[in-house]
Amino acid sequence: MSLTDFLSMGGYAKYIWPVYGICAVVLFLNIALPIFRERKVIRELQKRLQSEESKT
């Protein structure tokens, strides 16, 4: 099977690839956004901790 055969998906390419594309985007966002948020929260908490410790 050639690559073009694979990409054309027996004529259903315009239905199949958008589904897999949307799936990839949604799954990626569900991992990336929480990771960003985790980092942001850790950074903020560290900053708060630092200012607390410098006061005492």
Partner 1 sequence: MSLYKKCHRWFHQFASPKYFYDISHIISKYAIVVCIICFIAGLYGGLILAPADYQQGDSFRIMYVHVPAAWMALFVYVVMAVAGGIGLIWHIKLAEIVARNSAPIGASFTFLALVSGAIWGKPMWGAYWVWDARLTSFLILFFLYLGYIALQSAFEDRRVAARAGAILALVGIVNIPIIHYSVEWWSTLHQGSIISQIDKPTVHMSMLIPLIFMVLAFKTFYVTSLLIRVRTEILEYESNTSWVKQLLRDYKNVTN
Binding site for partner 1 (CB under 8 A): 1, 6, 9-12, 15-16, 18-20, 22-23, 26-27, 29-31, 34-35, 37-38, 41-42, 45-46, 48-49
Name the residue type at position 51.
S
Could you tell me if 16 and 9 are in contact, meaning their C-beta atoms sit under 8 angstroms apart? yes
Q: What is the DSSP string of 12-48?
A: THHHHHHHHHHHHHHHHHHHHHHHHHHHHHHHHHHHH
Q: Which is nearer to partner 1, 26 or 55 (CB)?
A: 26
CB of 4 to partner 1, least distance (A): 14
Q: Kindly state the smallest distance separating residue 29's Cβ from partner 1, in Å.
A: 8
